[in-house]
Structure 1
Amino acid sequence: MFTTPPITALVERLTLEQKVRLLTGASMWSLHDEPTVGLRSIVVSDGPSGVRGTAMDDRDPSASLPSASCVSATWDLEQVRRLGSLIAAEARAKGVDVVLGPTVNLHRSPRGGRHFEAFSEDPYLTGEFGAAYVGSVQAHGVATTAKHYVANDSETDRFTVDVHADERTLREVYLAPFERMVDEGAWLVMSAYNTVNGVTMCANPLLREPLKDEWGFDGVVVSDWGAVHDTEPSADSGQDLVMPGPDGPWGAALVEAVKAGRVPQSAIDEKVARLLLLASRVGALDSGPAAAPVESWDRSAVTDLLRETAADGMVLARNDGTLPVEPRDGLTVGVIGQHALRARAQGGGSASVFPYHVVTPLEGLRDAYGEHAVTFAPGLPPADELHPFTRGTVTDPFSGADGVHVRYLDPDGAALEEETIPSGRLVWLGDPRLAAAHRVELTTLFTTDRDGRHELGFAGVGGFVLEIDGEAVSTDPLTAPGGDPVTAILNPPSRTVSRDLDRGQTVELRLTYAPELPSGFPVALVQLGYKDLFGDPAEELRRAVEVAAAGDIAVVVVGTTETLESEGFDRPGLGLPEGQDELVRRVAEANPRTVVVVNSGAPVLMPWLDEVAAVVLSWFPGQEFGAALADVLSGAREPGGRLPTTWPAREEDVPVWQIEPQEGRLAYTEGLHLGYRAWLKRERAGGRGPALPFGSGLGYTSWRIDEPTVSTAGDHVVVLADVTNTGARPGKQVLQAYLSRPGSAVERPVAWLAGFTAVRAGAGERVLARIEIAPRAFQHWDTDAHGWTTEPGTFTLRLATSAADPGHTVTVTPASGRA
């Protein structure tokens, strides 16, 4: 047993019933307490890109960090460590002990719905970023959760898909990031919804071997929410904790199975011991150490870090010299696109948080260049989506405070409870008030800021009556789209009604909601808000072209949305939404100094890439989007990003396109060759390359990289190279070390990433870059011996600035292969 005597003694004080009770959650976001052993409740929260807390709406705002794909584009582990300190501080401020992140599944296909939430297509880069996240958050006594273990790399049929991957592929590619985070000391690992090689992950042998037995993981295996559906197979496996609670498949059924001898008592004791060890680590045990102190962050420090990180992750994909554009007297900037007006700072799903503010590109550019210098035109119709009323735009008619008045009503219409929420978005996750309510009533006052037509309405699933100034204007129910309850919350159906209103006119909106809870569990979302309006499409496009032509530069912002990139579904294709490509081309025709900003969390097609002056990939960059973008375009900051995933030119070129299961099975037939590895393999065979290779990205200065030298430090190979900034501006360069093995006796990728470093230097400055390469980089998984082995002889090391850069090559011999 891995536990210490004090933990073992606590386990022995509990009855079987007390032990089993601890192994299912107490609620959606908390675990049971147990006074017998001095255990308080442990609180968990979603947290890959910020810590949401126990509310999934605006009642408890959070810092909105750049998405994982943006963070990993920095190729700077120190940025992750600083973000980790912020995450720990946010968690502690919200009373959260366990953050459900990082997500370290891979970008197997650019169509993956949660692509933005994961770091990279490369297992090594993913593992290094995941480990930095784990180490920095847990250094402050807040637990992290490596998820989703394992091969949970797409969303189609995510509850039932059976992923088939061979032993070597699992070990070298999909398990590798998790192993790295276990080495770093991760306190939890989340078992995934999917099945691997015929066995659901909540009962899969992979939970024991390699996770717990070989790797020595001493933490808690928590299920994804609702992933456990059986009693004995999961309980007899490496699964430790079922979420959410209080109901689930273990409970009394598991007690009976243990008493009957079908599940060993030792399995229960081990699970409880792991849970108590976690409690000790986060300060939830009276007999254990207190929670580690965490220094709080003021709002300005949060803003500065998130602004810096967002800019450092933005990738300059093309630049003919137009960028940077420094502010100057008389400069005119045409800003075009709905994404400039309504920033897409994050993707959809459980990674979502609700920030105090989001700086839009339009706001950021006006602040940088001046209100007088910037002219805006949307160009295209807005996305067809309902926007909840935001903070400060509506008023509770009963208290006069900002927000919406909510009453929970019994069958007679009496209020069971009342509250004011700050915005028009309300989400219940396991809230007993929703379970007890016969109806919920939302009332607010909305005052217009313009004359004309308004589209006012609501979104959700269930029975609804909408009244405007006491008149019932909508009485029909809204029905859930599909069977995934998460999707119903993330992308609910909506309905609006049109009203012509005068500027300054106040109307009362009352929405009465009859909850529809088919599972019996109180999980629901209701939104009260509006839809964006748009003029004549032809006229708006013509005006956008005029705005572009009149500017010294034109900045057109295009991209996806959180309803297109989200948990619950995969993207059907990689094209931008309808009309955006044409908008880019029309703007570029009108102004040769057109800068395109692509606001997406994952690759999109850019058929106009070579037709515009500059392209900046912003990803989903968090709450400081517009400020960071303005820093990059104006040259106040370097666009520091390099691609953590390959961007294709055409859909038909993508090596791994198929992510829909066939008869319930999804085969990872590409094996070791995914991402840039697959592209290199195809190019070696004479095929087309991508639009933008893995690791690539431009800056605002130039560099010289001298020939590297190779030495050893213990069992590590050390690569050193002088790097000189030969330009007139300070800048950042990312050096990447790729290994290859010509003539290998085993199948290998053409090349694979083995190390990297980000270096910064002033104009004319020379710095020494150092990359350490661990022994694992040279090893492969031997399926006969079921272990790691190093092929004797030499390897080729290429020091480069992308997977496609020829760079400098040297021959190296791993320490384990030396005489």
Structure 2
Amino acid sequence: MTRAAETDFPTADSLSATDQARLTSGRDFWTTESAGGLPSIMLTDGPHGLRKQEGAADHLGLSGSVPATCFPPAVGLAQTWNPALAERIGAAVGAEARAAEVSVVLGPGVNLKRSPLGGRNFEYFSEDPYLAGVLGTAWVRGIQAQGVGASLKHFAANNQETDRMRVSSDIDERTLHELYLRAFRRIVRDGQPWTVMCAYNKINGVYAAQNRELLTTILREEWGFEGLVVSDWGAVADRVASLAAGLDLTMPSPGTASDDAVAAAVADGTLDPAALAASAGRVIDLVARTAAGRQNPPAIADLDAHHALAREAAEQAIVLLRNDDDLLPLSDESESVAVIGYFAEDLRYQGGGSSHVNATRVEAPLDELCSFVPGELLFAQGYTVDGSGDAEELRSSAVFQAGQADSVVLFLGLGERQESEGFDRADLELPADQLALAEAVVAANPNTVVVLSHGGALRLAPLTAPAVLDCGLLGQAGGSAIAATLFGKVNPSGRLAETLPVRLADTPAYLSFPGEHGHVVYGEGIHVGYRWYDARDLDVEFPFGHGLSYTEFEYRDLVVTTSDDGLTVELTVTNLGPYDGREVVQVYVGVDGSAVARAPRELKGFASVDLGVGRSQQICLTVARDDLAYWDTRVHGFVVEGGTYRVEVGASSRDIRLTDTVGVDGDELSIPFTLDSTIGELMATPAGAQALGDLAGQMFGDAAGGDALGVDLGALLGSIPIGRLADFSGGAFPRAVIEQLVDQANSATDSRRTASDSSSGVSAE
């Protein structure tokens, strides 16, 4: 597909190899090269807000950036479980990007949270590919509707910061496709991002930037990606090899010597000239696409409206983890409230590193609480995040204030010294001084609410406070969202997008993260996140999807039906409690007795519903048939297994309210029998059983139907490859006879399939 003809821009074929090479690398840190009349465009960091550097870009792209709205980063946005909200935020970021003459924003990040220790987890949505894919698709649609391109990242298996530019993510085929590529696949197919950013790391020993199977076979040929592949900044180790693999744009600029080397590779036959021309053409297409976007009405960056949107997102992102004895919401008649903690004054609202946004304004919870506390508001800092100050004195002052108040709001969390891009965390702990403070404050005043700000999962077992709000990272409007939630002006409705474990040793990747000697083995396979805890029946502190409310919701009247397109799930939800509220209904699917390893349940659908007190609403969710499929390594593709599917609907992965079962027809597989096929595999199919006939009886006589020597001979024979019968038969069944038997089984299978397809009106493939 080319859009160059729609403009006065050149086509790739009209350019020399030298100019084509120039177009496939950056001009500087943030802009593309211009050649042959093609203008340069700017790419900048994102995605929770625009990070456009002021003035000339420095060598590392780390200098100050222009003011922009800081929305909740992915860790916070994911806790809303609200795709419509994600799309609106994408549109707002797109409007600010257009106003700043930025053509592509680098996001969203949709890599899975394989380990809770991942230093960049705050930039990623979830441990679940379905949730990450749905939210990522919505964000992409929002920004690209503004005429600004998204850059889906980091493709693929970029799940740690340790040795991130060299490490090989060693993943088996099924796990790679079923878990780590699945969110990317959904977003490419449903959202068609204008660009995809390849990751730094290797996948099974091959750099992502040089991985032709990843960038061409899977991304373009199988998924139908139409856009441009750009490198992560500095990810290209061999530019010629990367171009050959399907990477189009190397960023930042590697210099003119690199361009000359690419042109020389074309001249000497090392690089196919068609590969270079194709990449240059995709750069031209991207520039043309962004030029068309700028022809739309001028973007208006309404920063007041965007701040209000950031507040709405923050309100929906807050998760009420615990609320013993209904301590929350706090009373409007409280005579005094003690607010304690450094983060009450200086809220941690975004992550550290390349996505750091220069917020247009930032709300401090302490300031916002002043308008909610009806009586006296007391404050104590309690701790520092940089190790300065006298910890005992700070703690003593905070405990004194706690003892004087009716209730306490204690702000705890992680600062950028504990988590940031560039390094992985060593543990899941809150800082020791904060834990000591929390213990002392709760002892002084049991009516203590803990408010948590952090980008990665925490071990919360040491916290004994009766009420806990998990805020993740809320963006620049987090202060007012927290205050309104504490006092019941907002009913919390956020849900965890990752499991909070009891201890680090329980986590799926505990024994293999972050790897060693340049390799990290994904030994947990498909059991990532809640899949792991459920499969092993492990206790967790708070499960995936968990979140309480100030009201109560009833689920009833579940009806599940099947069609060729998948499942339709219908139910009714009623608000039985005293507050208006939003409920996030979650649909999980499991297959008991599956022929392959599976998690007990997997998220396959969700919906949020706003309900006033006493109101009911019928909800209808569709689970696409494609989402029921697992990756079958025999056919190297997704397959829907036939059988009985268990459909569970609930308020979290471990708060299942309704369950039903439904039969699903499986996909017809064409897996030819070979001499390596076992007797059991042949006997499991009508065609194979017919072809085998009474062969076992001829070989083993009466023993074939019973036990011999204390073993189940049938089970023993079932595991033997059919080709080995020539050895076991003592020559009675030559190899040629067995080969003929296998051919008969394959012919019978093909005949049955053709007859079945013909009777159903489906053409056989």
| 2:68 corresponds to which of 57, 62, 65 | 62
For structure 1, the residue ranges without an aligned partner over 5 or more in a row are 385-532
1:775 equivalent in alignment to 2:629: no
Shift of 1:78: 1.0
* SS of match in other structure, 1:236: helix
Match of 2:206 in 1: 199
Residue by residue, what CA displacement relative to the aligned partner does 1:638-664 show, whole Å, maximum 9, x if unpaired?
112100000012222222223222221
| 2:524 corresponds to which of 660, 670, 686 | 670
Check whether the contact 2:194–2:227 (CA below 8 A) recurs between aligned residues: yes
Shift of 1:606: 1.5
- Structure 1 residues 814 and 280: CA distance shift in structure 2, 3 A: farther
| 1:263 corresponds to which of 259, 265, 271 | 271
| 2:432 corresponds to which of 578, 595, 612 | 578
Matches within 5 A, 1:501-516: none
Matches within 5 A, 1:582-731: 582-609=436-463, 611-657=464-510, 658-683=512-537, 688-712=538-562, 715-731=565-581
Check whether the contact 1:715–1:816 (CA below 8 A) recurs between aligned residues: no
Match of 1:208 in 2: 216
Match of 2:164 in 1: 158
- Structure 1 residues 63 and 631: CA distance shift in structure 2, 3 A: same
Q: Distance in 1 between matches of 2:143 and 2:344?
A: 33
* SS of match in other structure, 2:229: strand
Shift of 1:327: 2.8
Check whether the contact 2:112–2:125 (CA below 8 A) recurs between aligned residues: yes
Shift of 1:810: 1.0
Q: Letter of the 2:623 partner, please give it.
A: I
What's the TM-score once normalised by structure 2's chain length? 0.83
* SS of match in other structure, 1:556: strand
Check whether the contact 2:146–2:293 (CA below 8 A) recurs between aligned residues: no
Q: Letter of the 1:114 partner, please give it.
A: R
Q: Letter of the 2:249 partner, please give it.
A: L
* SS of match in other structure, 1:579: helix
Q: Letter of the 1:244 partner, please give it.
A: P
Check whether the contact 1:712–1:815 (CA below 8 A) recurs between aligned residues: no
Q: Letter of the 1:352 partner, please give it.
A: H
Aligned length: 656
| 1:103 corresponds to which of 100, 103, 109 | 109
- Structure 1 residues 258 and 579: CA distance shift in structure 2, 3 A: same
Shift of 1:613: 1.9
Q: Distance in 1 between matches of 2:596 and 2:257?
A: 45
Check whether the contact 1:715–1:815 (CA below 8 A) recurs between aligned residues: no
Check whether the contact 1:775–1:815 (CA below 8 A) recurs between aligned residues: no
Q: Distance in 2 between matches of 1:815 and 1:116?
A: 40
Q: Letter of the 1:189 partner, please give it.
A: V
Match of 1:324 in 2: 329
Residue by residue, what CA displacement relative to the aligned partner does 1:479-535 show, whole Å, maximum 9, x if unpaired?
xxxxxxxxxxxxxxxxxxxxxxxxxxxxxxxxxxxxxxxxxxxxxxxxxxxxxx63x
| 2:86 corresponds to which of 55, 74, 80 | 80
| 1:813 corresponds to which of 663, 674, 681 | 663
Q: Distance in 1 between matches of 2:659 and 2:652?
A: 13
Q: Distance in 1 between matches of 2:135 and 2:22?
A: 35
Q: Letter of the 1:108 partner, please give it.
A: R
Q: Letter of the 2:132 partner, please give it.
A: T
- Structure 1 residues 645 and 43: CA distance shift in structure 2, 3 A: same
Shift of 1:6: 2.8
Shift of 1:791: 1.1
Q: Distance in 1 between matches of 2:10 and 2:215?
A: 26
Q: Distance in 1 between matches of 2:2 and 2:534?
A: 47
Q: Letter of the 2:351 partner, please give it.
A: G
* SS of match in other structure, 2:398: helix
Match of 2:386 in 1: 383
- Structure 1 residues 271 and 58: CA distance shift in structure 2, 3 A: closer
Check whether the contact 2:154–2:198 (CA below 8 A) recurs between aligned residues: yes
Residue by residue, what CA displacement relative to the aligned partner does 1:555-611 show, whole Å, maximum 9, x if unpaired?
1101001232211110000101121111111111111110001111121111234x2
Match of 1:334 in 2: 338
| 1:149 corresponds to which of 139, 151, 155 | 155
1:754 equivalent in alignment to 2:604: yes
Residue by residue, what CA displacement relative to the aligned partner does 1:75-101 show, whole Å, maximum 9, x if unpaired?
111110110111101111211100000
Check whether the contact 1:581–1:606 (CA below 8 A) recurs between aligned residues: no
* SS of match in other structure, 1:773: strand
Q: Letter of the 1:306 partner, please give it.
A: A
* SS of match in other structure, 1:663: coil
- Structure 1 residues 815 and 734: CA distance shift in structure 2, 3 A: farther
| 2:422 corresponds to which of 531, 546, 568 | 568
Larger RCO, structures 1/2 (Cα 8 Å, 6+ apart): 1
1:298 equivalent in alignment to 2:302: yes
Match of 1:557 in 2: 411
* SS of match in other structure, 1:796: strand
Match of 2:192 in 1: 185
Q: Distance in 2 between matches of 1:18 and 1:663?
A: 40
> RMSD across aligned C-alpha pairs, in angstroms?
1.9
| 1:222 corresponds to which of 221, 230, 239 | 230
Residue by residue, what CA displacement relative to the aligned partner does 1:705-750 show, whole Å, maximum 9, x if unpaired?
0031123566132111100000111011111111111111111112
Shift of 1:356: 2.5
Match of 2:371 in 1: 367
Q: Distance in 2 between matches of 1:799 and 1:175?
A: 26
Q: Distance in 2 between matches of 1:149 and 1:299?
A: 32
Check whether the contact 1:555–1:596 (CA below 8 A) recurs between aligned residues: yes
Match of 2:59 in 1: none
Match of 1:350 in 2: 354
1:91 equivalent in alignment to 2:129: no
Which is strand-richer, 1 or 2? 1
* SS of match in other structure, 2:139: helix
Match of 1:132 in 2: 138
Of 809-818 and 577-586, deviating more is: 809-818
Shift of 1:368: 2.5
Q: Distance in 1 between matches of 2:664 and 2:115?
A: 32
- When Rg is computed on C-alpha atoms for both structures, the one with the higher figure is 2
Check whether the contact 1:717–1:815 (CA below 8 A) recurs between aligned residues: no
Q: Distance in 2 between matches of 1:230 and 1:753?
A: 39
Residue by residue, what CA displacement relative to the aligned partner does 1:268-316 show, whole Å, maximum 9, x if unpaired?
1110111111112211xxxx67543364243321221111111100100
Check whether the contact 2:48–2:72 (CA below 8 A) recurs between aligned residues: yes
For structure 2, the residue ranges without an aligned partner over 5 or more in a row are 55-61, 669-759, 761-765
* SS of match in other structure, 2:653: coil
Of 342-351 and 672-681, deviating more is: 342-351
* SS of match in other structure, 1:691: strand
What's the TM-score once normalised by structure 1's chain length? 0.78
